[in-house]
Amino acid sequence: MFPAKLFFLPLFSFLAAAPCAAQSPDEYRKMLDEAMKSGGSSGDQPVQWDARLKKISGEVLLKSSEAAEWVAVDSAEVPLDPDDSIKTGSSGAAEIYFENRGVVALARNTELQLRTLEKEDSEMMLVLGSLAAKIEKSAMKKLKFSVRTPSAVCAIRGTEFAVEHSRFNNETAAAVYDEGSVAFMPLDKDGKVLGEYVLEPNTEIFASAQIKRHKAVRLSRMMKHRGQIAKNRDRVRALRKSWKPMSMSRREALRQAALRKNIRRPELDSPAKKKIRQSKSKTRPARTGR
């Protein structure tokens, strides 16, 4: 009974404060739906992160699960949904904010898919490239967060970490920096877990078909991400002060606005297409006046 009271009291307060008689049936239904969304979630509805994408520099693209095209992201924050994919170009950099509890920074030439944003079991798929992240340990006490690649799974335990994946040799590298830990699980070609190796602070590990024995070693090759980790710490501190919750209607409006503009169709501007158009324009006979 106690949880039910917690849920319905804000809803009743909202309705009591609204002049229902002045509302049309459609307006009233819309208001009721909004109150249900903001007042709480039912017991069987998973709680999701309010995740947002921020372009830092260069080319950053976003694609929803329902769309076929990639959309160029501008400087505004874009709310993210499960199954969204993000891609950075050769000069691109982006950040994903998990409310004011974590930052995932994507380096250039990176592709990432958000498989699920449920707080109890969040998972990202790093298709290629690299990411560096800071997830507050206090946020992970009862929550799960993992990064998967084609050759490994990294279960995050509230930490500062980085993950890389190369398509060239199907190698995954992971590292932990000054705090936290990561459970690193290499995968075989069929996706079967080959074991579990715990990364403690300032250690790294690698997995590929060529590596037969996996072992966590002192931080070395992955040291290059330490500068980004320091930036992530500053970003999380700033988010604690500046983060503002967003209504469902506002969130959806911003998302739809971002997905409708700057649609990228590479085939229209590919070098081959340009060459064909230029060739046609040169060979087309000039019109003569009569």
Is this prediction's pTM over 0.85? no
Spell out the domains of the chain, with CATH numbers in brackets.
Answer: 51-242 (2.60.120.1440)
User: Is the pLDDT confidence value at 28 over 50?
Assistant: no
User: Is the pLDDT confidence value at 7 over 80?
Assistant: no
Supply the pLDDT for residue 286. 52
Q: What is the mean pLDDT of residues 70-92?
A: 95
User: Is the pLDDT confidence value at 269 over 90?
Assistant: no
User: Is the pLDDT confidence value at 124 over 80?
Assistant: yes
User: Is the pLDDT confidence value at 62 over 80?
Assistant: yes
Supply the pLDDT for residue 279. 54
Report the chain's C-alpha Rg in angstroms. Answer: 24
Supply the pLDDT for residue 157. 84
Q: What is the mean pLDDT of residues 160-165?
A: 98
Supply the pLDDT for residue 265. 55
Cα separation, 136 vs 236, in Å, equals: 8
184 versus 212: the higher-pLDDT residue is 184
pLDDT class of 278 with cuts at 50, 70, 90 = low
Average pLDDT value over all residues in the chain: 82
Out of 13-22, 105-114, 189-198, which region has the weakest mean confidence (pLDDT)?
13-22
Cα separation, 30 vs 11, in Å, equals: 14
Supply the pLDDT for residue 148. 97
Q: Exposed/middle/buried for 278, CB within 10 Å: 0-12, 13-18, 19+?
A: exposed
Out of 14-18, 157-161, 183-187, which region has the weakest mean confidence (pLDDT)?
14-18
- Contacting residues for 225 by C-beta, under 8 A, at least 6 apart: 130, 132, 162, 175, 177
10 versus 161: the higher-pLDDT residue is 161
CA distance to 170, 178, 192, 193, 237, per residue, from 154 (Å): 15, 17, 14, 11, 25
User: Is the pLDDT confidence value at 225 over 50?
Assistant: yes
Supply the pLDDT for residue 43. 52
pLDDT class of 12 with cuts at 50, 70, 90 = very low
pLDDT class of 224 with cuts at 50, 70, 90 = very high
Q: What is the mean pLDDT of residues 178-205?
A: 94
Q: What is the mean pLDDT of residues 92-101?
A: 96
